């Protein structure tokens, strides 16, 4: 009994420490980019000793990958929750697009972009990142199909959903260095009209 109670707080502390490291890492990716995210800065910001950090994440790549995977999962849950609050009727398509665009302009997208670009020229990192990106891509596609009520057995519908996701990804990339919310809103208005026409 004593053993069990001693072990549980230890496990909890370890989990909490891991979570703090991941959150600190994502914040630094957004603020300073991949190159500026050093393991020293992460351990300082998380208030975790270097030894404890190395126990959880032996290398910077391990830490950055786990951090992006973690926020991607959290964000996936948030997307699913936001999806359940979407309106029905005529405003629905536009609301789905705004939800997706919010996702692709969020700090999670920015952190993922930093990881993604770093992985492009780092084969070890790419071997981890590519399967994560594929899984996330499939999940986001499936969610979008469901939210739009799109019937992918009809010709051209699958490509329309893919184009929608590539469009919001392009909008997300554009927003990383120029704030163009107004432009984005007008484009989403227009795309919502077309999507409704095409899916009707």
Considering Cα of 166, then 172, then 176, then 177, what sign does the dihedral take?
positive
Distance (Å) of CA 79 to CA 1, 30, 135: 41, 20, 15
Q: Binding a second copy by CB under 8 A: which of 36, 47, 58, 87?
A: 36
**Is 114 a binder of a second copy (CB under 8 A)?**
yes
Q: Binding a second copy by CB under 8 A: which of 66, 83, 167, 199?
A: 167
Q: Binding a second copy by CB under 8 A: which of 59, 80, 173, 181?
A: 173
CB-based burial label for 26 (10 Å; 0-12, 13-18, 19+): buried
Span from 17-25, 32-40, 52-60, 142-150 in contact with a second copy (CB under 8 A) = 32-40
Residues 69-98 that bind a second copy (CB under 8 A): none
Nearest Cα to Cα of residue 198 among 143, 161, 147: 161
CA distance 12 to 145: 38
Output the six-digit token pair for 17: 């420490």
C-beta neighbour count of 172 within 10 angstroms:
21
Least gap, CB of 147 to a second copy (angstroms) = 19
**Is 189 a binder of a second copy (CB under 8 A)?**
yes
The values of phi and psi at residue 88, to 5°, are -95, -170
Span from 19-27, 87-95, 145-153, 187-195 in contact with a second copy (CB under 8 A) = 187-195
Q: Binding a second copy by CB under 8 A: which of 61, 110, 140, 144?
A: 110
Considering Cα of 69, then 70, then 72, then 76, what sign does the dihedral take?
positive
**Is 198 a binder of a second copy (CB under 8 A)?**
yes
CA distance 89 to 98: 15
Span from 8-16, 51-59, 61-69, 157-165 in contact with a second copy (CB under 8 A) = 157-165
- Give the footprint of a second copy on this chain (CB under 8 A): 31-36, 110, 113-114, 116-122, 126, 129-130, 133-134, 156, 159-160, 162-163, 165-174, 176-178, 183, 186-187, 189-191, 193-194, 198
């Amino acid at each position: 009994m004593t053993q069990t109670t001693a072990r549980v707080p230890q496990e909890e502390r370890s989990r909490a420490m891991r979570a703090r490291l991941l959150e600190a890492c994502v914040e630094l990716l957004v603020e300073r980019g991949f190159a500026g995210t050093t393991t020293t800065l992460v351990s300082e910001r998380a208030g975790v000793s270097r030894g404890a950090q190395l126990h959880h994440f032996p290398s910077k790549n391990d830490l950055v990958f786990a951090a992006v995977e973690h926020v991607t999962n959290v964000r996936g849950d948030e997307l699913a929750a936001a999806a359940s609050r979407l309106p029905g009727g005529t405003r629905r398509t536009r609301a789905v697009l705004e939800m997706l665009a919010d996702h692709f302009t969020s700090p999670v997208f920015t952190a993922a972009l930093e990881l993604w670009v770093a992985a492009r020229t780092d084969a070890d990192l790419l071997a981890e990142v590519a399967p994560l990106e594929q899984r996330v891509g499939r999940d986001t596609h499936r969610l979008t199909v469901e939210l739009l009520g799109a019937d992918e057995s009809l010709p051209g519908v699958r490509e329309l959903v893919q184009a929608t996701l590539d469009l919001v990804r392009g909008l997300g990339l554009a927003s990383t260095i120029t704030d163009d919310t107004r432009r984005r809103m007008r484009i989403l208005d227009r795309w919502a009209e077309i999507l409704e026409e095409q899916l009707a």
